[in-house]
Structure 1
Amino acid sequence: MAGTTRKLRWLALVSYVLLLAWVIIWQSMLTTTYSYSAIFILLLYAGPLLLPAKGMLTANPYTHAWANFITLFYLIHGITVAYAVPAERLYAIIEILLASGMFTGCSMFARFRGRELGLGLKKAKKLP
């Protein structure tokens, strides 16, 4: 694995782990506007982030690519909370930064590692 690819993987992994931890801490301990059960928090907020865990840890470029769809949920959530709940704006900004770091790291890692492994979409045949 090339140096740039390795750095992008670490960006994706660190952002992923920190986002998972931050969402759990925020929703279980720091929120003041509503109170959910621990099971609900794990299912709704942490559950989707646990789906790509194995592929993220094993450096699978396909998993990194589709994990971006999950990351968009947290980006949208952060933007919505930052706009609608002024009391939790700082928490939302942290979520936005972590989700953006994960999105960037996953996207670029999937691209660079896919090229290294010779993966990619096949070009369509040209019609005469």
Structure 2
Amino acid sequence: MTNSTVIMAPSTRLYLWLGRIGFTGLFILIPLWVLWLAPPELGSAKVLLALLWTPLWLPLWGIIRAKAYTFAWANFIVMLYMIHSLTHLWVSTGTEFLLAVLELLFCALMFVGCTYYARNRGKELGLKIPKLKDDPIRTAKD
């Protein structure tokens, strides 16, 4: 059996969709926020868009193809948006505050979905990170 033919448990599929919903929400929210809903008062909206939106393009293909490894490392990227939203929650009011709440919601969905999808799917596929005590080369040197 290949990796793509291993049956996915319902809970794993739920986490896959949570991660995808959070990712898609961020992917759509960022350009809407920067270009139309609350453009920056100082600086270029296009430069800000490039800085904020480019990282989301990196895991796009792996998220579409439901690659567990991509979901695992995409959590590092979602932390950028978590910090961005928390900063705006602290300093913003009005529209930007509401956009920050929405961004934080999408971050939370993506983080939980990606974390548990990668974990569950990795187990289903038989993937695991070897423990130091199981590595004969490392234990022989010590």
TM-score (normalizing by structure 2): 0.83
Alignment match, 2:53: 46
Structure 2 residues without counterparts, runs of 5 or longer: 1-7
Alignment match, 2:73: 66
Structure 1 ranges of 4+ moved more than 3 A: 35-39
**Aligned residue identity for 1:123:** K
Is 1:2 equivalent to 2:24 in the alignment? no
Q: Distance in 2 between matches of 1:35 and 1:24?
A: 17
Note closer, same or farther for the CA distance 1:17–1:35 as it changes in structure 2 (3 Å cut).
farther
TM-score (normalizing by structure 1): 0.91
Deviation per residue, 1:73-112 (Å, 9 max, x gap) = 0000000011012232111011001011101100000000
Alignment match, 2:37: 30
Among 78, 81, 98, the residue aligned to 1:90 = 98
Is 1:101 equivalent to 2:101 in the alignment? no
Tell me the number of residue pairs that the alignment of Structure 1 and Structure 2 aligns: 128
Determine what percentage of the aligned residue pairs are the same residue: 39
> What is the alpha-carbon root mean square deviation over aligned residues?
1.8
Determine helix, strand or coil for the equivalent of 1:125.
helix
Note closer, same or farther for the CA distance 1:28–1:35 as it changes in structure 2 (3 Å cut).
farther
Q: Distance in 1 between matches of 2:39 and 2:131?
A: 52
Q: Based on CA coordinates, which of the two structures has the bigger radius of gyration?
A: 2
